[in-house]
Chain A
């Protein structure tokens, strides 16, 4: 859609050799009819808790990230797979390609998954990721973000995006965020602090809804 960032984006240097020159053809109709279906055996309840899985708890601010996945007509996307991944509180990814000087957290891997409920809702428990430097341009820093991978009800409704945090001064300096030209669309990438999701004495909460489809 026009609201998506363009493939070719000189400010985001990795697009230089990877953006297709096109033109891209119209999507065949059959691609928008069906998509993979996921069953409850694909995930466990623990998969949605990124603070688990080690002998200790990860460092950083515990947060609940929750919302609903719907299509552009507002219908809930039910029983579909949502995957997230992120850096730790220091901004370091547990991936061999990230070797920048921020500490790894032995108690944090940074990946989770769940299935949406009957009303399209999803919920994760994680810690707030830190910003991290990258080599795109001098003194470049990605705003704190959580990567989201979402399946809709058909192959056409597949979406991978990033969730950002409100009030982050790095957003307006970020080539990826600012390449979403429509400012209202860009605002959809920013989560809302949500008091109703917070748990007293334990975790803050952020709400992030995802709309798939054209």
Chain B
């Protein structure tokens, strides 16, 4: 297995395909990413994968550390990869857009459920480290 290395600070040059994910027409998802010191993470790339709809989208964080993306219709949850300088492997998590239950521990699900700001807008902030650290999964199956 080829080991991972960080994507580094210049990832926006190379992982540029489908940034914006324009084709999806489902709800919008926004959020802000912060590090363990509370600083915004302004150089991250997030990838959103919906197995249910087969849709994939990318979003970069801006100077405020925030991202905006459109999900596919009917997506109950999005699987997320985060790449950035300072991350030696990607971070993996999942964002739930509804409160249907599945195999996951209910408390973990609750912590990974986005806030619905309006019928078509969801918000999920992420914290790479610290008291509010987001629940992350191992980036590979066991």
Contact surface of A with B, Cβ cutoff 8 Å? 1, 3-7, 9, 12, 14-22, 24-37, 42-43, 72, 81, 83-85, 93-95, 97-98, 109-111, 113, 147, 149, 155-156, 158-162, 176-177, 179-180, 185-186, 188-189, 209-214
CB distance from A63 to the nearest CB of B (A): 17
Size bracket, chain B contacts: 35 or more
Question: In the complex the two chains form, what is the Cα distance from A110 to B13 in whole Å?
Answer: 8
How many angstroms from the CA of A124 to the CA of B30 in the assembled complex?
Answer: 35
Identity of the chain A residue whose Cβ is nearest the Cβ of B134 in the assembled complex = A20
* Pairwise interchain contact B5-A160, C-beta atoms closer than 8 A: yes
Question: Binding site of B, secondary structure by majority: helix, strand, loop or mixed?
Answer: loop
17 pairs, CB–CB < 8 Å, chain A vs chain B:
A1-B1, A14-B6, A19-B87, A19-B129, A27-B138, A27-B142, A30-B51, A31-B137, A36-B54, A72-B1, A84-B14, A109-B13, A149-B14, A156-B140, A176-B5, A211-B2, A214-B142
Are A179 and B88 also in contact (CB < 8 A) when A95-B12, A159-B2, A161-B5 are?
Answer: yes
Q: Which 10 A-B pairs have the closest CB atoms?
A: A85-B14, A14-B86, A18-B86, A36-B56, A162-B5, A17-B35, A17-B36, A5-B88, A32-B141, A95-B10
For B36, B83, B128, B140, the residue with the greatest tally of chain A CB atoms inside 10 Å of its CB is B140
Interface string of B115-142 (1 = CB under 8 A from A): 0000000000000111001111111111
Contacts of B35 in A (CB 8 A): 17-18
In the complex, the answer to whether B2 meets A189 with C-beta atoms within 8 Å is: yes
Partner of A188, one of B2, B79, B129, B139: B2
Contact A176-B88, Cβ < 8 Å, known A26-B142, A95-B10, A189-B5: yes
| Distance to closest chain A CB from B5 (angstroms) | 4
Q: Please give, as numbers and ranges, the residues of chain B lying within 8 Å of A25 by CB-CB distance.
A: 108, 135-138
Q: Is the CB of B129 within 8 A of A20?
A: yes
Docked-complex contact A28 and B137, CB < 8 angstroms: yes
* A12 & B86 in contact (Cβ 8 Å cutoff): yes
Please, which residue of chain B has its CB at the minimum distance from the CB of A161? B5
The reply to whether B13 and A185 form a contact with Cβ atoms under 8 Å apart is: no
Besides the known contacts A17-B36, A19-B129, A21-B130, 17 further A-B residue pairs in the complex with CB atoms under 8 A apart: A4-B4, A4-B89, A5-B3, A6-B88, A14-B85, A16-B86, A18-B36, A19-B86, A24-B138, A31-B137, A36-B56, A83-B14, A83-B15, A85-B11, A85-B15, A160-B7, A180-B3
